[in-house]
Amino acid sequence: MIVFVRHGQTDANRDGLLLGRADPSLNERGREQSAALATMLAGELKAGTRVLTSPLRRAVETADAIAAACAGTVECDARLIELDYGDWDQHRLLELPQDVVVRWRRDPDFAPPNGESLREVRGRMADFVAALLAPGSDDTVVAVSHVSPIKAAILVA
């Protein structure tokens, strides 16, 4: 089983900014969220659970809290990284041309300038899910990621 977890809050998330490959740390609320989730999961996960994480700091900090609570191990997996918003990174959707935003939401092949399409995210998450749900792999794994990869994983699971 894969338990998907979205990282805790950052200032950019709080402020409504698109946050792709930018790499801020969790804010105080995000650290509190991560600690609370880690405490909750500690009662559900067996000791030594694998915790896979996006390489971005906000996810790693969340994963570290979970792994510490269940005596688990943290491994980075680049497939869990957030969608690359390219030139849109750290902007609000309302700041962008709305016709382009509508196209992005409707067309899985559309990518922001210098960014990544939703179809590309879906492809890497399909690989991730298939690898972890292969026959014979019955351990529970925690995957700490971001909103777009988690949504994509749900589509392919």
**Tell me: the pLDDT tens digits for 79-128?**
999 999 999 999 999 999 999 999 999 999 999 999 999 999 999 999 99
Query: Is the confidence at residue 139, as pLDDT, over 90?
Result: no
Question: Which of 61, 82, 116, 146 is flagged as catalytic?
Answer: 82
**Tell me: the pLDDT tens digits for 3-38?**
999 999 999 999 999 999 999 999 999 999 999 999
Residue-range definition of the domain harbouring residue 87: 2-156
Our answer to whether residue 82 is catalytic in this structure is: yes
CB atoms within 10 A of CB 113: 9
- Provide CB contacts within 8 A for 133, sequence distance 6+: 2, 157
Half-sphere exposure of 45 (CA within 13 A, CB side): 27
Q: What is the DSSP letter of 89?
A: T
The pLDDT of residue 3 is: 96
Determine what percent of the chain is predicted with pLDDT higher than 70. 100
The pLDDT of residue 134 is: 80
Residue 138's pLDDT band, with cuts at 50, 70 and 90, is confident
CB atoms within 10 A of CB 129: 20
Supply the pTM of this predicted model: 0.94
Q: Is the distance from CB of 27 to CB of 59 less than 8 angstroms?
A: no
Our answer to whether residue 7 is catalytic in this structure is: yes
Q: Is the distance from CB of 67 to CB of 73 less than 8 angstroms?
A: yes
Kindly report the CATH number assigned to the domain that includes residue 40: 3.40.50.1240
Question: Which of 7, 61, 116, 146 is flagged as catalytic?
Answer: 7
The DSSP bridge partners found for residue 62 are: none
Residue 61's pLDDT band, with cuts at 50, 70 and 90, is very high
Task: Sort residue 136 into left (φ over 0), alpha (ψ -120 to 50) or beta.
Answer: left
Instruction: Report how many domains make up the chain.
Output: 1
